[in-house]
Amino acid sequence: MILLPFWIAIQDAEIGAAARPVSVPTQWVTSDDYPPIALRYNQEGTVAIALTLDPSGAPTACDIRATSGYVELDNQTCSLLMQRARFAPALDRAGEPTKSTWTSRIRWQLSKVPMLLEQGAVSVRVVVNGDGKVEACHVIGKGNLAKGDDLLCEGSRDAQIAPAFAWALSLAKNGTAITLISSYGMDLDEAAVAPMEAEATDTHRHALAVALFEVDAGGRVLRCVETVRAGSIGLPRNMCARLPEQFATTTAHKVRVWAKTLTGEPRPEDRP
């Protein structure tokens, strides 16, 4: 899936001389920077930001003027610009460097390349200690469904918990570690109408969502209905709304997609 953040620069009105980029703005936010959680949930949107620049041209603050509608995209935009954006400073009317503001819009957009229709299941398991720090993270699952999820774990050790799992912070307390589990999957044809596999006995389920739909021979999604919604913690608001318009397939299928959030005590294999 190709990811397309678009850069549209809007300068402040000139007072003396406006700040100007000293590197290429289109390299500040690239297709490699799409947040994994936003990729998984097909999140798109445009973020309007304002960077406060000091007299040296370095950004000191990033404010969201208009949200994309998704905290992951908003936070990623400001984080990247604070790290990468560099400017020659603005000049006042006396020709001296001065503070200034740079405003811009970043458009985060997923390509319309059809997603593969593939049966499978993926679990992201994150061990969080009683201080809310990530001790370990790993992904169980392979194939198209797992694409991008390895990035959720990249560099997470000893870090603050990722926003994707913030819902469970209150469960990890009093110095007790806990494993947070985000699982999702896709079942095709006969498997789509078979009973779902039960959760492991050492876990507690907090939320489950299930949707059924059909895909025609052209890959188009037909008649999607969310059939189960038990809780909402850590789940997308609407399973059908997150589906792509088209899948890469030449045969018709019945499809079930599901997502669940669970917690449990850390297993030996959960830790490095």
pLDDT of residue 255: 95
How far apart (Å, rounded) are the C-alpha atoms in residues 210 and 256? 7
pLDDT in single tens digits along all 272 residues of the chain? 334 444 444 444 456 778 888 877 777 888 778 887 787 777 888 899 999 999 999 999 999 999 999 988 999 999 999 999 988 888 888 888 988 888 888 889 877 667 788 888 888 888 887 766 778 888 887 656 655 555 556 545 444 555 555 656 666 556 678 888 888 899 999 999 999 988 888 888 888 999 999 999 988 999 999 999 998 777 777 888 878 778 888 899 999 999 998 888 888 887 76
Backbone angles phi, psi at 255, to 5 degrees: -135, 140
pLDDT of residue 128: 80
pLDDT of residue 215: 94
Reported pTM: 0.61
Instruction: Write the DSSP string, 79-120.
Output: HHHHHH--EEPEE-TTS-EE-EEEEEEEEEEE--PPEE---E
Per-residue confidence (pLDDT) for residue 115, from 0 to 100? 77
Backbone angles phi, psi at 179, to 5 degrees: -100, 125
For residue 54, the model assigns a pLDDT of: 92
* Residue spans of beta strands (DSSP E) within the chain: 3-10, 20-21, 45-53, 59-66, 87-88, 90-91, 97-98, 100-110, 115-116, 120-128, 134-140, 178-188, 203-215, 221-230, 247-248, 253-264
**Beta strands 247-248; 90-91: pairing state:** unpaired
Indicate the domain borders of the chain. 3-110, 115-270
Specify the pLDDT at position 118: 85
- pLDDT recorded at residue 62: 95
Which pLDDT does position 105 carry in this prediction? 86
Burial of 169: CB neighbours in 10 Å, binned 0-12, 13-18, 19+: middle
- Report the C-alpha gap between 183 and 195 in whole angstroms: 17
Contacts of residue 115, Cβ cutoff 8 Å, sequence gap at least 6: 1, 144, 244, 246, 247, 248
Options 3.30.2420.10, 3.40.50.2300, 3.40.50.720, 1.20.1260.10; CATH of 3-110: 3.30.2420.10
